[in-house]
Chain A
Amino acid sequence: MVSTENPFKINVPDEKLELLKKKLELTTFSDELEGAGREYGVPLTDIRRLTARWRDGYEWRKHEALLNAELPQFTRDIEVDGFGTLNVHYVHKKSEVVDAIPLLFVHGWPGSFIEVRHILPLLTEASSDHPSFHVVALGLPGFGFSEAPTKKGFEIRQYAELANKLMLSLGYNEYVTQGGDWGYAITKLMAVNYGQKHSKAWHTNYPIATAPTLKDRPLAYLINLVSKLTPEEKAGLERTAWFFGLGHGYSAEQSTQPQTLGYALTDSPVGLLAWIYEKLVNWTDNYPWDDDEVLTWISIYWFSRAGPAASLRIYFEANKAKPNMFLTPLPSKIPAGHSYFPKEIFKFPKRWSNTPNLVFESDHDSGGHFAAHEKPGELVGDLRKMFGKGGPAFGVVPGKTGYA
């Protein structure tokens, strides 16, 4: 089952760098309304500044080298039923601790494998005080340096199948998962389709819930009726209302006409920059993005193997296969864990949660959607509590408790 790994180093061809530079030099900027701020979208000053930096000053090769140094990367052919073989890019780092817990980390959009960067050393680090993990960070098909599917219909079920097969191919017959955004949806389905046999527990920083109804959850409904919202809960619901009211346009287009959108994102670096940067700012909790940090994140999309348009299709396929799948609880039997960050884009009163077997919950007073990137210490702290000695999911992977 276990075959050798094929090491991979990011090495974007020179002509791609030159083309990017040529395009950046020809950038035509739009105007902006007076006093627009962030109200109409990404501010022009930010885009001008980032474009200028990307054009002159930002050194892709330096950041490419840093990524290659920090993140041990590999590629592997994985066969997906009905879709042939996809060459998948992933990060894989084993802890020194032999019996570390195998953990699959699954990113979302507009994320990528880069989101494992801050948590990787913390997860693998050995200590008698907390568990260690062997970490696999999957590059989703169509993202980063993974191949994209060429046929229609590659939806969450296929992503889950591929992710499970990757873990098995690496010798991790049993593992736990961590995911947010699409990573939430994929690991949720893995919990159902491969739960107990392979996936032993799942943790998310993107817990979804819906208001209980009298019909489906009468007790929760009644409790909800009489409970007053705390200020945090109110703020959370306002955040969710903001997201659905003002922050959902990208999803509506990506779920319905991804190809149409894809032309601009593929042809215009500044168009791609704006499309993603808006989320990096709006979805985080005042995270102090460094310009080069932003540009590295976006360059991964620009230089991605399948191009940025491919990354949009997950929205279309998931929406077509099962509209509202994010909102649908699934009958998983394995332990689940939630981390709640206040600036996540979906935020609901915890008592609405209907995740089966929820054994771990942790609240934070800062942090947003990109938890692994913004709050690596807090996220890893939660995983250590959930899976460590005395934790509710301790020893969930037999023989791999995470300690020496």
Chain B
Amino acid sequence: VFTEEDKYGLYSNLMFKYFLAEGVVCGHELFVASAKEHPDNILKELPAPLLDTYRKELGEEATAVKSEDFQDSMKIAWRYQNLPKMEASPTSTKFGHYYDISKTMPPELFQSVKWHSFYLPEELSLQPKMKTCNMNSAYASLLQSIQKIIYQEGFDGSDPQKKQKNILRIGIQSLGSMLWGDDICSSDTPEDIHSLTKFLYVLRALLRKSLSACIITVPAHLIQNKAIMERVTNLSDMVVGLESFIGSERETNPLYKDYHGLVHVRQIPRLNSLICDVSDTKDLAFRLKRKLFTIERLHLPPDLSDTVSRTSKQDLAESAKLLSSGCGAMAIGKKHLDF
């Protein structure tokens, strides 16, 4: 899962923590990598799960993390909390948990979970022993670290003795930023434009060969060379962009007053099947309440005046331009067709 960070990284960090928190609650193993914040600190700030508000009327346990087949090569497409307000309650495919972000996760939950961390400033002192394939050395050592964990903990099926299969959740924060030694965010003609894409390719190979899933956040707005983002999108299974309204003109736009930002789903995974699971709506927005971070369909307030509707049409046409799906279609150009 590839997340394009919003400008100030606030919301993408939140999603990152949700991913890891879900891993803790489900008993998965975690691997956290970061160049700017020590993983121990990240893990201390995971949101606490809301254990008493499971909707039991569906008769399904919330622990039906129907993971996503336990075959030897799976990448999990993970969508969470997509609660369309149109529907009365979440329907049968409910999986995942809810979290209360005003509280941090209690340490008892952590105790049963095994986790590994990769904090770049600490790792740089160790020399990567493997052939680097002309890749940025930070990326190379991260890959080596991930591969080592996968092999040692038997996620790649190499240890037939392991009775219980578990999933490794990998979280990599702010990949591609300058802290990782890559200059794609600071220069138009970076020294090595292939480092990030090569890294992603090898990571993809590792993930396909093991029971793991990975979320990566990237400060996409800083990457000058758009070709890289296109290639990165092609190499990822799922790409989600978060656009926050902070500091942009949309913050004061009455259309968006209930929300804090937009969610752009740029690509959906299409694995093991010709078709992919496309939701009905493409307009998603997120909002951060005191306890909850929700993603919902973008509701427009009723058209009360001429000016409101005119700006909204322009805005929607713009945002529709940016939306595309793995199997689908897109409005190109500024053509706005009334239906």
Same complex origin of A and B: no
Which residues of A come within 8 Å of B, CB atoms?
none
Which residues of B come within 8 Å of A, CB atoms?
none
